[in-house]
Amino acid sequence: MDLNWFVLYTTSRAEKKVAQRLQDKGLEVFLPMVEELRQWSDRKKKVQKALFNGYLFVKTSKPNLWQCLQTPGAVKFVHFNGEHATVREEEIKMIKRILETGVAVETDNSEIAPGEQVKIIGGALEGMSGECINKGNKDYFIIRVPGINQNLVVNIPRKFLEVI
């Protein structure tokens, strides 16, 4: 049976609960989280939030998608060109590695023109290959997640990039 990473859309701010409920059912789930400093009137606090608001990734087979949707907080699986959106294992691994290094990462859902193909030759993300764009006089390494129309954007100094 083919297992793929499917993109599940959840109700607002329910990503953690849905991920936990799916894990409790024995499914492999990936919910990329980032730490953010939040300011209240009386204090500041670091909070964990989903990198992609409203989305998480579930590794399962097509026949099991309906079972996942029976989970409270799950809304629908994302479709792209009439098919269920899937994310390749390599992209999941790249996202995990970027988050593990702790480098500053942003998400961007704007249309980004194709950039040059590069390999990172230094720093925490050394060895990764992908796409580089120039924005506002800085170089950014991007990972496209087409299933949810999102891009991960990491600022990388040019000295750590080698054009492929």
Is the predicted pLDDT of residue 149 greater than 80, yes or no? yes
Give the C-alpha separation, 55 to 111, whole Å: 19
At 66 the pLDDT is: 95
CA distance readout (Å), 112 to 45, 62, 144: 33, 31, 9
- Residues 98-123 have pLDDT tens digits of 999 989 999 998 888 899 999 999 98
SS3 16: helix
At 81 the pLDDT is: 86
At 110 the pLDDT is: 87
| Separation of CA 86 from chain center | 12
* Under 8 Å between Cβ of 119 and 128: yes
Please tell me the pTM assigned to this model.
0.89
- In the chain, pLDDT over 70 holds for what percent of residues? 100
Domains observed in the chain:
4-87 (3.30.70.940), 90-163 (2.30.30)
